[in-house]
Chain A
């Protein structure tokens, strides 16, 4: 009880408001440090296959011998189709599948995004498991073109050869679907949407043949031409749309089979050389986080994730001595493992950060870092709320035991109010202590509402502008968003607004929302929440200040961390064209159901905008 009384007494203490900035700073520092220690052995774990049924690498693979001759022939066939029309290609691929006695169907699709028309055709074949009851299916994907736009010669040929080879086996407990999608992103998306009947039948054809519930999907990306190319490693791509990840068991099975059974080393996140040192682990993790944070489709497998179908892409990289049959046997063994599954993959982790092909951090270990960053905003928001309710006149501490300072005599005399306590005695209390400060909520609340609605504008514009106008609209947005906070602050200052309390409240609500959004987002897409959290940390510390020495650097920092400027800087840093990124984002919005831009324009940008207006208002006050 004594402790509670002390705490209650501290409530009104002026010193309590000095604490939150330090608390926030500690949260941020611990949050970042937390992330940095994750690659250490003590905080990460070795991967393991959790689902007993998978039994990776326990079967002999027989995809050799004459299958190689057939593979080469199919690769020539695929190469012959490279410059043919889509219809011819579809027809020929269907014929090859049909000659293996499979059920074949095709699907046309077309999407409109950023003024572009994406239209192509998917071909797929269903191997009806001889003893299966059509309730479950696994998918093998060979996209016609890979993510870099190269024709996936050997990948498609491998799918055709494996289709012919798998047909001879009677052990399939699930149907096997072989999908040659028109491209690597929209094709699989159209197919998997139509498979679950959540497509728009006007532009995307419905599937004429379906099988059971999809249990897993594996895509092969092997663009080597008709004369082949020996590769060094398998690059396993696992990021899904919106940062969703496949079950770790699927990744582990692929690594286990490729590494342990076939002797092909695996790599991830474009880490071509990985010596398993701290730096490399950290780099892998950060690359994974950026990829997850952006939430874009990273291969044909990405589209499957939103439907709770675990999927990965096996990509061949480098020059080495492994050939196509090694990849074929890896796929064979992987499918035999998936075929063993009795239940949907659920045993292992869905939320993880990979540091190495055999090392990971699970959500319980990494989540606190993003949560701490998000908490820092909430702490500041609460502090600002408390501060906004304080009276601006100083409150003396009449019961102070410290000796009165030398300037005590100069202090104006505080007015005292006599208060009668129930037991009849009278006590004198400083009047400001009893006065109630009203919070003027109208302007701050309407301002926050306005900024969040304002975010809809760029969201709409970037998702719907045709490609030729994207650069112009991006540059305009860049200029406008830089100038707008200052203009708004200036305009408000003409009306002698906002008052000090109002700026505090604006910042309070903005940070409160930011903290809540980021905490919720951290459980869904950790990386995005963390990245935005880091980029918005200055918002916790900037205040409306009339001191130009304080306000100008703060404004400078904020202007540099404008989301549009950050996007621009990132494209310059990675040497990407900003239009290309915007086109991909628009495609993501219209085709894959990408949500990153919603977070950027409706969470990040409004909070930045509010912060910049607050700092600007200090300048003009």
Chain B
């Protein structure tokens, strides 16, 4: 019977770390089942509000700071995400889902402005500037993709001295996050990927991960003494497949293993030299940082604290029995916490640091906290005209009901029928919808914005469904890959949990959807163009000929053969004729 150790303490420790100091960074490694590895990078820079306003940047990046000042943005949340979090195997999301976004790019910000129009124009300034900074198509977040959430998002920062704040939210579900977004992300860090834990971030491995999210959060925090600081938090969370990441970059092909390396079930009656029933791997795989991240960790970033808790920048969360060997030439300090399930290391400066975990047969495991909700959304029905969306939200907790806000931001060409909205709870007739906020779409101007506050009783399933109609777009409104379908942004579920203390909230996002729209045959216009061109050419040619050419009888043609001489003679004769008259 493996003993299970709680992780609840851990999240509290991670949340409280680093208040006060100017720059901290931390990497948390947590092996997950099925040879997956969660790596959570967190970087936090603080600058005082006063020096920020005086454009005196120290840890806060100037490029981003000036954009925020120019766009009058007081709080900013930017997410780049790829892949899916497998809650069934991996448990609760890192940071309770507060530091992740839907597939693609998600951005929301509190902008200071006198009225909505001004707020929107500042929002456009912000998205355009960020688009340039992060090499992402954020400038495509226009009015049709922008909503103003009412219940889903709460500011994390302290905004007591900024009364006219407007929350705007936009998503780009089709945006493919890649290395060009990582490079500017790393440049915002004080150590810029040269030292510290950020030296492990390599585009090849990051974007080969099973799930990854990059986030930037800027918020003002004020102490009791009225001294305010502007805090920027950057984090990268990813789940790596250890087997896949360990493959060398020059030979990444998962060829079938030689049969000698596969463990066969010899108890099977048919087991023979050419027949092998593969056995599951029961031991934890061996790995080290250099292998898994494709780079070595180049010591500590010198800007982090040298003393105290914040100096321990690499933490690994494993059962105490797991062997973890440290491989470095410098001096390091190891400390253990939370019943030895958390080992943290203070890195040497200027020396490479590596953690080496050999293959090991484990008797204990960590109990992964289960997520408070799980949600799956899909498009049902088929055909070119209508469809329906179904969202299944499950509350696994046997005891406590969960209250949450469900936010849906739909493109304008997907027109929901609100009267078909049904929310049913398994084995209960009560209506789970407590409050509805709905802002219908306007064609080509804005999308649908739907927020539902709902309550789901313990151990039950909520099925939310509504029908929608597909609009027919204009010919030029289709993207080049029109037959792929159109991406629909993920729904955001934010939990209303009075017990949450870190002020960030808890979020669950569904996957994005692909909406097939009626698509014209794009080769048809070309056929029409070709046909009309032919008709035009024929008609034009004939009329042109009739107008310009002179038709003469064969016998009228001057004899004497062709050639230049005849031509010139003909011209002269004609000229003579004209002059003669």
Contact = CB atoms under 8 A, between A and B. Distances in A.
Interface in A314-344: 342-344
A170 B381 CA distance: 30
A73 B271 CA distance: 7
Interface in A190-248: 196-198, 209-210, 212-213, 226
B580 interface: no
Contact of B244 (A62, A103, A170): A170
A64 B256 contact: yes
Nearest to B269: A76
Given A73-B268, A170-B241, A135 B513 contact: yes
A62 B255 contact: yes
Contacts of A133: 82-84, 103-104, 173, 511-512
Given A62-B256, A308-B382, A344 B376 contact: no
A3 B272 CA distance: 89
A164 interface: yes
Given A76-B268, A346-B519, A169 B277 contact: no
Contact of A344 (B84, B244, B379, B484): B484
A342 B174 CA distance: 13
Given A135-B512, A343-B483, A128 B84 contact: yes
Interface in B262-311: 262, 264-265, 268, 270-271, 274-278, 280
Residue picked from B34, B275, B482, most chain A C-beta under 10 Å: B275
Contacts of B253: 62
A74 B277 CA distance: 7
Contact of A65 (B86, B256, B485): B256
Contacts of B104: 133
Interface string B298-328: 0000000000000000000000000000000
A212 B513 contact: yes
B259 interface: yes
A307 B270 contact: no
A95 to B, nearest CB: 10
A182 B227 CA distance: 69
A101 to B, nearest CB: 5
A134 B275 CA distance: 35
A338 to B, nearest CB: 14
Contacts of B255: 62, 65
A128 B207 CA distance: 16
Contacts of A99: 278, 280
A307 to B, nearest CB: 5
A343 B268 contact: no
B577 to A, nearest CB: 43
B285 to A, nearest CB: 13
B274 A134 contact: no
B485 A344 contact: yes
Contacts of A132: 83-84
A169 B255 CA distance: 9
A270 interface: no
Contact of B380 (A196, A212, A342): A196
A589 interface: no
A128 B104 CA distance: 17
B516 interface: yes
Given A65-B258, A210-B376, A342-B484, A130 B513 contact: no
A66 B262 contact: yes
Contacts of B264: 69, 73
B352 interface: no
Given A69-B276, A70-B276, A133-B82, A197 B380 contact: yes
Nearest to A307: B382
Contacts of A307: 382
A66 B483 contact: no
B254 A168 contact: yes
B203 to A, nearest CB: 13
A308 B381 CA distance: 12
A69 B256 CA distance: 11
B257 interface: yes
A179 to B, nearest CB: 17
B88 interface: yes
B481 interface: yes
A344 B483 contact: yes
Nearest to A62: B255
A134 B511 contact: yes
Contacts of B481: 342-343
B208 A131 contact: yes
Nearest to B89: A101
B349 interface: no
B254 A130 contact: no
B84 A134 contact: yes
Contacts of B270: 72-73, 76, 226
A367 B255 CA distance: 49
Chief secondary structure at chain B's binding surface? loop
Contacts of B511: 133-135, 212
Contacts of A63: 256
Contact of B275 (A76, A103, A128, A210): A76
Contacts of A467: none
Nearest to A103: B88
Nearest to A165: B256
A68 interface: yes
Interface in B216-261: 241, 243-244, 253-259
B380 A73 contact: no
B208 A170 contact: yes
A183 interface: no
A280 interface: no
A70 B277 CA distance: 6
B514 interface: yes
B208 A168 contact: no
A136 interface: yes
Contacts of A77: 277
Contacts of B519: 346
Contacts of A342: 481, 484
B256 A198 contact: no
B516 A344 contact: yes
Interface in B493-526: 511-514, 516, 519
Interface string A96-131: 000101010000000000000000000000001011
B156 interface: no
B257 A128 contact: no
Contacts of A168: 243-244, 254
A213 B278 CA distance: 32
Contacts of A346: 483, 519
Given A66-B262, A168-B243, A342-B481, A134 B256 contact: no
A67 interface: yes
B131 interface: no
A412 to B, nearest CB: 59
Interface of B: 34, 82-84, 86, 88, 103-104, 173, 207-210, 241, 243-244, 253-259, 262, 264-265, 268, 270-271, 274-278, 280, 376, 378-382, 388, 390, 481-485, 487, 511-514, 516, 519
Interface of A: 62-70, 72-74, 76-77, 99, 101, 103, 128, 130-136, 164-165, 168-170, 196-198, 209-210, 212-213, 226, 307-308, 342-344, 346
Given A73-B264, A212-B514, 16 more contacts: A67-B256, A69-B274, A72-B270, A72-B274, A73-B270, A130-B209, A131-B83, A131-B210, A132-B84, A133-B173, A209-B376, A213-B379, A342-B481, A343-B481, A343-B483, A346-B483
24 contacts: A66-B257, A66-B258, A66-B259, A66-B276, A70-B277, A72-B274, A73-B271, A73-B275, A73-B276, A73-B278, A76-B270, A101-B34, A132-B84, A165-B256, A168-B254, A212-B511, A212-B513, A212-B514, A213-B514, A226-B270, A342-B481, A344-B485, A344-B516, A346-B483
Give the top 7 A-B pairs by smallest Cβ distance, nearest first.
Answer: A197-B380, A343-B483, A134-B511, A168-B254, A73-B277, A135-B514, A69-B276
